[in-house]
Amino acid sequence: MRKLTPEERLKHGVIVLLKKEDYEDLKRFAEESNSSQAAWARKLVLSGLQRQRRIEKSSKDAAALRQAELEAEEAAAREA
């Protein structure tokens, strides 16, 4: 079974497991803002997906930078 992309997870729905404290916070925020808990859960999931995308992008950028540094070192070693 393949891993779903973030977009597919949003399309098909996501089951979110929350700690009891997080659930209580979610419930309180929903009551204070007169919105549904599902809306707050979607907001939490979306922010989590955005955070995951940023982490993935920064790790890809770091890997590309390391690769460029290695290639530069190899080129310098060949010239010497």
Q: List the chain domain ranges.
A: 6-79
Determine the pLDDT at residue 32: 76
Identity of the highest mean pLDDT range in 12-21, 36-45, 48-57: 48-57
Say if residue 75's pLDDT is above 60.
yes
Which band of pLDDT confidence, cut at 50, 70 and 90, is reported for residue 62?
very high
Phi, psi of 16 (to 5 degrees): -110, 125
Angle in degrees, CA 48, 27, 4, rounded to 5: 30
